[in-house]
Amino acid sequence: MLQRNYSLASLNEQLTKDQMFYWITNEKDIEIGFLGISRLKSDGLFIHKFYILPEFQGKGVGKSVFLLLLALYPEIRSITLQVNRQNYKSVNFYFSVGFKIIQVADFDIGEGWQMNDFIMEWKRN
């Protein structure tokens, strides 16, 4: 699964399919994570990937990045994503910035891999 979704070839292919990647850096310009998004429609985004190195988690980085994303795309009315149901830390983070669970879904992604996800959505008030 890692090779299929995170290899250099796979990431390059994702970029050609209108997915945008943002590197997250700290005040020392050290890359500490990344965000991969795409447009769902003119006023919606989908978060494909949102990763922050563990040693920088819980320090407000994720919330700052999310608020920056909203500032960069003021026309956005909704953001959706999928997150593993067992990834409590991420699920709780998304709750903390205003996401709600809209669906529980299981996906067979091949080669014996199963994704057991929440589909979550954030809506602008």
Domains and CATH numbers, the chain: 18-123 (3.40.630.30)
Q: Which residues does residue 51 pair with via DSSP β-bridges, in sequence order?
A: 34
pLDDT over threshold 90, residue 7? no
Mean pLDDT of 18-38: 82
Could you tell me the pTM of the whole model? 0.82
What tens digit of pLDDT does each residue of 58-99 get? 999 999 999 999 999 999 999 999 999 999 999 999 999 999
93: helix, coil or strand?
A: helix
Percent pLDDT > 90 in the chain is 57
pLDDT at position 2 is 43
1 confidence band (pLDDT: 50, 70, 90): very low
The CA-based dihedral angle spanning residues 99, 89, 105, 12, taken in that order and rounded to the nearest 10 degrees: 90
